[in-house]
Amino acid sequence: MKNEEETAPNDYKGRFSPRIILNLSLIGVFSALICILTMVISIPIPATQGFINIGDAGVMICGLLFGPIIGGFSGGIGSSLADIFLGFTIYAPGTLIIKGLEGFLVGIIANPKKYYKKLNYRDILAVLAGGSIMAYGYFLYEVFVFGLQAALYELLLNGLIQFGLGGLIALIFISTARKPIIDNLPQVFDKIFM
C-alpha cells in the first residue's frame, strides 16, 4: 500500500505542499521584480499610447532560470501590473497573455532543469522565440486596438529596442549567473523544476 506522500505529491494533508508554496512565492517575488523593472525605465510612445521598457529582460531571465511555469506566470502578472500602475491599462489584458506566453516559451525551450550548466543554443533560441512572441503579439493586439499604422510603428520599436535590449541583458545575466545560482541552491531548484 502506498503512503499518502506517494499518492498525492502536491498535496500535504489537504493543504498546499511545500513545492506549491515555493512556486507561488517565487511567482510573487519575480512578478514584483518584473513589475519594478518594467516601471523603472519606461519611455512613452504617443502614437500607440504604449511605452518601451526593459521588463522583457526580467521575463526572459525568469524563464531561463526557473522554467516555463514560474517564467510564464511571473512575466504575465508582473508586466500587466506595471501597465496598470503606469496608467497604460488598455494594454494590461494583452500584456498578461503576451508576456505570459513569452516567459512560458522561453522556459520551455531553454529547459533550465536539464541545460543549465552553460549558455547554449537553446537559450539563444528561447530568447529569439520569446522576443518574437512579444513583438508580434503586441503587433496583433495594437492592430486590433489602434490600427495598422500605429501597430507597425510600435512593432519596429518593440522588435529592435525592447526585444534586442531585453534579450541581450538576459543572455549576459544567464551566461554569468545561472549555473552558480542553481548549483548553490539545490534545495530550491529540486522543488521547482518539474
pLDDT tens for each residue of 103-145: 999 999 999 988 888 899 999 999 999 999 999 999 999 899 8
Whether 47 is in a domain gets the answer yes
**Is 129 in contact with 109 (CB distance < 8 Å)?**
yes
Residues spanned by the domain of 88: 15-107+117-192
The 10s digit of each residue's pLDDT in 169-183 is 999 999 999 989 988
Whether 74 is in a domain gets the answer yes
In 3D, which of 113, 111, 106, 115 has the Cα closest to residue 170? Answer: 106
Span 61-87, mean pLDDT?
A: 95
**Is 44 in contact with 35 (CB distance < 8 Å)?**
no
Q: What is the DSSP letter of 90?
A: G
Q: In this predicted model, which residue has the larger pLDDT, 151 or 38?
A: 38
Can you tell me the distance from the alpha carbon of 131 to that of 125, in angstroms, rounded to the nearest whole number? 10
Candidate from 4-18, 119-133, 158-172 with smallest mean pLDDT: 4-18
Residues 6+ apart with CB under 8 A from 147: none
Count the domains in the chain.
1
**Is 52 in contact with 39 (CB distance < 8 Å)?**
no
Can you tell me the distance from the alpha carbon of 16 to that of 150, in angstroms, rounded to the nearest whole number? 46
Whichever domain contains 41, its CATH number is: 1.10.1760.20
What pLDDT, on a 0 to 100 scale, did the predictor assign at position 186? 85
Whether 143 is in a domain gets the answer yes
Q: Is the pLDDT of residue 14 over 50?
A: no
β-partners of residue 15 are: 12
**Is 75 in contact with 63 (CB distance < 8 Å)?**
yes
Whether 135 is in a domain gets the answer yes
